[in-house]
Structure 1
């Protein structure tokens, strides 16, 4: 009886997985078709052979290697720096129990709800005044602060329930606040920190508006900006468009697959807690 009850859930999961995988497969199939084959057989037909000129032409046209380096540098830096900043601030709020904790957490929630459109002009003006406009560092700083707002809110909620007995025992043994943080709190919270790092990388990779405004030089643009600008110029056929979409999503997908065990472990630990 229980096995029979599981079948509808399994069927629903399979159908949901197909809906998520199908668009990616269609893009991958059309990325290796020639324009003539695409026009003759349509987007759903299987390719008769591997046509890689669309991928190669797109790579050369947008200097995809440079764009890929910029995206990896920005997303990786933001993921690491935002996690570090989140850990430090959440430790002070969640374990340090500073005064006004509810109001501080409310501020971080408000920061997460603030639309990026409201940040465009202030960030643009401040970066101009600081001489950081059109630099990758400016985008790294902005997204580190933005992502750490969510990370601080999440980690502070986790650390607020951290066993006080462990901390007190460490302090009795002579550990200071810094040692308690890096030798006790961080190792125990590693699954949650790993989940945040994966999310921060993927979220930053997919950002478009602020990099579009802040990075106007071709050498500093990210993958998402390069895709949007080139498609806006209408210089690509259907095959190259699919090749661009495939190359744009593939690095993030690879990163997700590499760290999927970290993500799964963090979610599992969080559900058990």
Structure 2
């Protein structure tokens, strides 16, 4: 039984953490609508037009198109690979699984910075730099290890009795995947989709190395170019940063329950 003092202490800690997290966000939003370009918070006469000005001056329309193509492609390919590999390792049992799965997980322990130089030259040799398919392939390859681990754990949490009953009824492996495992693991799949989209959308370093053509650069690089041109206009820079974060916030608001269920369910158990 939790005492009243413990409850007060817990709520005080949670409140302090929430304030520490939300204060910078509120400050950035405040600066974004401030008429003062020096970054001073001035809410006496909010300029909501700063968002439209930042969008137009940074030419975010083209960057948004690139971000949607890259993030959408990565999410689609990564999700298919994650489901297939997770089902193979978690349910079907592939030959040499005890060696192949740990080898696959090595990708989780290798920092991207250690492989980015040889990766760039490999992609350059095959003509994959400055292309959508190249950056999508790079993001997908770097995330396949986590996807296999995540979905394997989710599928292993499905009660074996359901699989056995389906086998008795004559269901093959594909039917079991679509009719049993995927519906049960739906929160884990949605969580993986959101994480994959968020990581790809927020990426700056990989895109900076692989994409130099402004016509194929995502919004994060667009904000970087915008900051170089308008370094003294902090209110417009803040408005641009807020615009980039909007899709992530909107997706989380729509799928927050599924996201939390995926994080707390059997998707994190072995």
Indicate conservation of the 8 Å contact 2:158/2:184, yes or no.
no
Indicate conservation of the 8 Å contact 1:79/1:201, yes or no.
yes
Unpaired segments of 5 or more residues in structure 1? none
The one-character-per-residue Cα deviations of 1:25-82 (angstroms, maximum 9, x if unpaired) are: 101111111236x57xx33xx4111224533332122211221222123223222321
The one-character-per-residue Cα deviations of 1:105-131 (angstroms, maximum 9, x if unpaired) are: 222321012122233233323333333
Q: CA deviation at 1:24?
A: 0.9
Q: CA deviation at 1:214?
A: 1.7
Alignment match of 1:195 (pick from 188, 191, 202): 191
Aligned residues: 268
- Residue in structure 1 matched with residue 143 of structure 2 by the alignment: 147
The normalised TM-score by structure 2 is 0.89
Q: CA deviation at 1:240?
A: 1.6
| 1:127-138 matched pairs, under 5 angstroms | 127-138=123-134
The normalised TM-score by structure 1 is 0.88
- 1:270 pairs with 2:262: no
- 1:183 pairs with 2:184: no
Indicate conservation of the 8 Å contact 1:33/1:49, yes or no.
yes
- Residue in structure 2 matched with residue 218 of structure 1 by the alignment: 214
Unpaired segments of 5 or more residues in structure 2? none
Q: What is the DSSP-based 3-state SS (H/G/I as helix, E as strand, rest coil) of the residue aligned with 1:259?
A: helix
The one-character-per-residue Cα deviations of 1:203-230 (angstroms, maximum 9, x if unpaired) are: 1111111111222121211111111233
- Residue in structure 1 matched with residue 241 of structure 2 by the alignment: 245
Change beyond 3 A, Cα 1:57–1:183: same
- Residue in structure 1 matched with residue 18 of structure 2 by the alignment: 17
- Residue in structure 1 matched with residue 45 of structure 2 by the alignment: 49
| Alpha-carbon distance between aligned partners in 1 of 2:210 and 2:25, rounded to the nearest angstrom | 30
RMSD: 2.3
Indicate conservation of the 8 Å contact 1:95/1:162, yes or no.
no
Q: CA deviation at 1:14?
A: 1.4
